[in-house]
Every structure is written in structure tokens, then in C-alpha cells.
Amino acid sequence: MSVSQDDRISLSYAETFQNHDKPHRIFSQFRAEEPVAWCPEPWGGPGYWSITKYDDIQEISKLPKVFSSDQLHGGITLPSPEMIAHRQNITTEQAENPSELSDFQGGRSMITMDPPVHNEHRRMVAPGFTPNTLDSLIPNIRGRVEVLLESLEGQSECEFVSSVAAELPIQMLAELFAVPQEVRHKLFEWSNLIIGGDDPDITLSRDELMAAFMELAGFAMQLYTERQQNPGEDLISMLVNTKVNGEPMNMADYLSAFVLLVVAGNETTRNSISGGVLALSQHPAEKQKLLDDPSLIPAAVDEIVRWVHPVIYMRRTAVEDYELRGLKIKKGDKLALWYMSGNRDEEKWPDSFTFNVSRDGPRHLSFGYGQHLCIGWRLAEMQLRVVLEELLTRYPDIRATGEVRRIKTNFLNSIKQMPVALA
Ligand code: HEM
């Protein structure tokens, strides 16, 4: 029996992803029966193709000239302006053009660009992510993790997301931006607001949201001027002072690049850290393997990122007709590359639903693939590795207890609260 219409439509609702059993059931059925599947959308959306097999996700990711990420074609998330308008109770026009922020919204960052312009924008910050640059950060990461974990001493339990998982990535972001550590709380708040659109605990009124965006833009613009006058080795200086075709980046693009780095480097790493501790709590025998043999931690990092899939999907839009598994994808069609599903493809890992910290096998898709492969993947892996090394040494009995609360979104696998016992 094929996947029901209700199940297909449910993939558009954030609620469906509050617990992953249902989407995994739907994706398993798609992979077995209909790997390229048309899914209707609610709220007047035109519908889209669900791509659920590992090989197909890779094939599409290697063809940015056919499958565009460009904002002009709709960008990297599924909801169309009509759908956003319906959900947020605003007009389609407002959803297309948030007026007060026209400058800010008018910008594009590398993640919503296609080659060749994508390559130029990516090159601007690439020096900040070379293996050498990142290796030199390891002592810094370890020092920060030590301080965070020392602050937990004497406690038998804590709320892990705010105490550890959220703290490290924003501290590292403040470091990469070379801004005072006190600013990190603002970075955290902004990042939550940007991705938390469907979550009642996070969503603000339209006016409040605008005010928060204006505050963010004001902060970023001030940094722009500062780093123009006093360039350093940090990511902001790279954005401000590198020229594209002899021209500096315009302000709208700069603001978008700033937001991208804040969100991309923050939420995802946080969720791989909290999701990793959750997975080890749910699989004590796997955790014991790491306690017995810490040299397995790098392999465990790979497995955690496969298992957790911090990014659930990315969208592409076909800009020419293309045939995939005998089906015609038409110019203009939307596609969802479900990384969450590709990472459980039984053809790649026969026991894909087993969490195994010592597994071999192909590289997971959590960092994407091809043209837009995550620029920060090494940094994220380093943070996760150091946290696990220090955490398992100091708190070998750490385990998640109580209710895990997720942010309401079908885009990111985002844990907002997770109580843990430390001893
Ligand atoms: C576990 C942590 C992380 C995960 C799972 C993750 C995931 C991803 C994914 C799936 C993409 C591909 C987007 C696409 O195909 O359209 C991406 C791109 C990107 N990520 Fe990450 N990311 C993580 C950490 C980071 C960090 C730490 C940074 C920077 C500090 C970062 C910065 C970026 C940027 C700038 C892009 C855009 C690259 C491009 O368009 O060429 N990410 N990330």
C-alpha cells in the first residue's frame, strides 16, 4: 500500500517532527516503494518531490545548475509565500516583501546562491575554515568545555541544553567573529528567533520580530564599520574586506551572510551535542564502548551526526527538466532532499536504524553534499569530539532523564530542553 495522502501532507507540519517515529515510518515506506514521491502541501502550496534515497540526494546535490538553491527560485526551505502568509496570518505580499526590512531581506547569502557567484562568496570566508586554522582552535575549545563542565561540579543534575550544548557553539561563534563573549547571548536569541517561527515558546509578534531583526542588523552594521577601519583575522573582517569582482560586498548581502553564520554555526552544533548525549543515554551499551575505549570517539562523532541529522531537509528547485528514476521532474518543481531519510537508507547501511558508535560505512549526509557541503563541518565535529572526551571523563554516568522538548519545526532537529543526571 502506498503512503497515504494524509501522511504526505503531514510532512509539511512542524508537529509531525516533534517525535521522529512517524516521519521515519513515512520515509522508510517511501524509500522502499516510491523513492521519488510527489507530496501535496497544505495552505495553497504547489506541492513538491520528496527525495528520500541517499544516492538520489547526492546526485541532485552535485547538479546545482539544474537544482537551484537560489533565493530567486525559492531558496532552501519549502514553504512558499502563500503558505507563510496563511500560517502567520499576513498577506502574501507581506510574506514576499517584509517592507521594513527590505534592505536586509533583499540580501542573499552563499547558501541561497548558485555557482559561479556562490563560489565567490564561499571563498570569502573559506580561510576561516581550513584544517590548520581550525586545528589551532582545539585548545581554545577544550578550555571552554573545561570551564563549562567545572561550573557543573557539585550538581547532581542540570538542564543540558542551556548549560553546555548551547553555550559552546555560541562561545565559539563569538570567538570566530572576534566579538566580546557578553554578546553571545544576543547571538543565541537571534538565532532562536530566526529558526523558531513555528514554535509558540519562541515566536514573537510581527512587531517584536521586526524589532529583534533591527537590533541584529544594527549590531552587524556597527561591526561592519569597525572591521573596515580595524581589520583582523576574524570572519567578519573576511566578509567586510574581501572583494567580489573588485567590489566589496553590499550591505544587504553582508547582513544575510552574518545571519547565515549565526544560525548555521549555532543551532546545528548545539543539536548534535544534545542529540549525541541523548543517543548515548538511550544506548548505554554504545556509551560503555566509548568509556572502555575513548579512541572510538571520532567514529562516534560520525555516528551521532548521522543519527541526529541536525538539518532535516534542504530544498532545491529544478531550473530545467530532469529525469530521475524514470520520473520527469519539471522545470519549476520544488524538491526536498530529506537528509533525515538518506541517513537511514538501508542500501547504504543494512542496519541503518541501529545506533553503533563503531560502525564503518559511507559518509552520512547531515552536512549536505556537493556544491553547498557545510563549510563548518570540521569545526562542528571538533566541538562534539572535545565535549564527548571531557564529558565522559568527568561525568561517565551522565544520562538524559525526563522530558526532551524539541523546537517546533520540520527543518531542524532542534532540542530546546533536556534534563540530565550527572552522577
Ligand atoms: C553539526 C553541525 C552542522 C550541521 C549538521 C550543518 C549542516 C549543514 C548543511 C546540511 C548544509 C548544506 C546546505 C545545503 O545543501 O543547501 C550546511 C551549509 C553551511 N553550513 Fe553547516 N552545519 C553544521 C555546522 C556548521 C558550523 C559550525 C558552521 C560555521 C560556523 C556552518 C556554516 C555553514 C555554512 C556557511 C553553510 C553554507 C555553505 C554553502 O552554501 O556553500 N555549519 N550546513
- Residue 337: closest CA among 320, 321, 318, 315: 315
For residue 70, the CA-to-ligand 1 centroid distance in Å is 16
- Residue whose CA is at the smallest distance from ligand 1 atom 41: 372
pLDDT score of 420: 98
Q: In the chain, what are the domains?
A: 5-421 (1.10.630.10)
Predicted local confidence at residue 191, as pLDDT: 79
Listed residue (130, 165, 69, 171) closest to 398, CA to CA: 165
What's the gap in Å between 187 CA and the centre of ligand 1?
Answer: 17
The whole-model pTM stands at 0.94
What percent of the chain is helix, strand and coil (3-state, nearest 5)? 55, 10, 35
H or E segment to which residue 157 belongs: strand 157-159
For residue 98, the model assigns a pLDDT of 46
Whether the bond into 116 is cis, omega within 30 of 0: yes
Q: What pairs with residue 159 in β-bridges?
A: 419
Q: Among 59, 112, 120, 268, which residue has the most ligand 1 atoms within 8 Å of its CB, making it the best to mutate?
A: 268
* Degrees, nearest 5: CA angle 120-122-127: 110
pLDDT at 94: 65
Nearest to 327 by CA among 37, 2, 22: 37
Rounded distance from Cα 109 to ligand 1 centre (Å) = 12
In this structure, the dihedral spanned by the alpha carbons of residues 98, 102, 107 and 112, taken in order and rounded to 10 degrees, is 20
The secondary structure of 57-70 as a DSSP string is: HHHHHT-TTTEE--
Residue 265 Cα to ligand 1 midpoint, Å, equals 7
Residue nearest to atom 30 of ligand 1 (CA): 265
Alpha-carbon span 171 to 383, nearest angstrom: 11
**Cβ–Cβ < 8 Å for 366, 305:** yes
Residue 263 has a pLDDT of 86
Q: Looking at residue 373, what is its pLDDT?
A: 98
Q: What is the pLDDT along the chain (423 residues), one digit of tens a residue?
A: 799 999 999 999 989 999 899 999 999 999 999 999 999 999 888 999 999 999 999 999 999 999 999 988 999 999 877 777 776 666 666 666 543 333 445 678 999 999 999 999 999 999 999 999 999 999 999 999 999 999 999 999 999 999 999 999 999 999 999 999 998 888 888 877 776 656 666 666 777 777 888 888 999 999 999 999 999 999 999 999 998 888 888 898 999 999 899 888 888 999 999 999 999 999 999 999 999 999 999 999 999 999 999 999 999 999 999 999 999 999 999 999 999 999 999 999 999 999 999 998 999 999 999 999 999 999 999 999 999 999 999 999 999 998 999 988 899 999 999 999 998
Half-sphere exposure of 153 (CA within 13 A, CB side): 6
Ligand 1 cavity residues, CB under 6 Å: 69, 76, 110-111, 122, 260-261, 264-265, 268-269, 272, 305, 310-311, 314, 366-368, 372, 374-376, 379-380
**For residues 229 and 70, what is the distance between their CA atoms, to the nearest angstrom?**
32
Q: Where are the alpha helices (DSSP H) in 92-232?
A: 92-96, 102-106, 117-125, 131-135, 138-150, 160, 167-177, 184-195, 206-229
Mutate to test the pocket of ligand 1, among 374, 385, 386, 415 (most ligand atoms within 8 A of CB): 374
